Amino acid sequence: GLLVQDSTIEQLQLLDKTGKEIVRVTKKKIYKENELTNQASGAAFKITTYVGGSRYISAPFLNEENKPVIEIAIPVIAKQIPQSLQSLSTSSIGKSRKPGEILGVVIERVYLENLWQTINVLVIGQNGYVYIVDNKGFLVNYPHKDVLDTNKDLSNVLLYCNEISGN
């Protein structure tokens, strides 16, 4: 239902406490049990479970269809005490979790196309434009798709810009 209602969601995964996929669903497919994999070595699982139940948001990357996405992961927490609207202790932001309290991880892969469409129409001066790079300096969004398909490395440009700005 959620995948149909929200067009920005590409994929949902539910992992158990060891990192094994229990469920993986995309808009086009519900994965069978023999297609599910262990995600314990992935950043989403490691950060969400090893860092006391922290949420995880990936850097933007291009999916298999060459569309920009990010992954967001949150821990599935064991209910510890009865909940009320005045006190949601098991979902408190910043509360560190012990290993036994984290029962698994939910990972959502989100399309960034709407954000890209907004950014692509921004103009700076007469000839300027906005582009987005990942944390390694590779181009993930650019107004001209032919340049985007080249997997351009702009890390040297970013270093130069940081040196000029003093960062």
- The mean pLDDT value for 38-58 works out to 87
Q: What is the mean pLDDT of the chain?
A: 75
Amino acid at 8: T
Alpha-carbon span 64 to 120, nearest angstrom:
21
Q: SS3 sequence, 47-112?
A: HHHHCCCCCEECCCEECCCCCEEEEEEEEEECCCCCCECCECHHHCCCCCCCHHHEEEEEEEEEEC
pLDDT band of 19, cuts 50, 70, 90: very high
Residue 58 DSSP symbol? P
pLDDT in tens, 110-144: 888 766 666 666 666 666 666 777 777 777 766 66
pLDDT for residue 11 is more than 60 = yes
- Model confidence over 59-116: pLDDT tens digits? 888 888 888 888 999 888 876 555 554 554 444 445 566 667 788 899 999 888 766 6
The two three-digit tokens of residue 8, written as one number: 């920005």
Cα–Cα distance between 10 and 2 in angstroms, integer?
10
Provide the CB-side half-sphere exposure for 121 (13 A, CA).
5
pLDDT grade, residue 34 (50/70/90)? very high
pLDDT at 154 over 50: yes
What pLDDT shows up at residue 64? Answer: 85
Q: At 45, give phi and psi (nearest 5°).
A: -70, -50
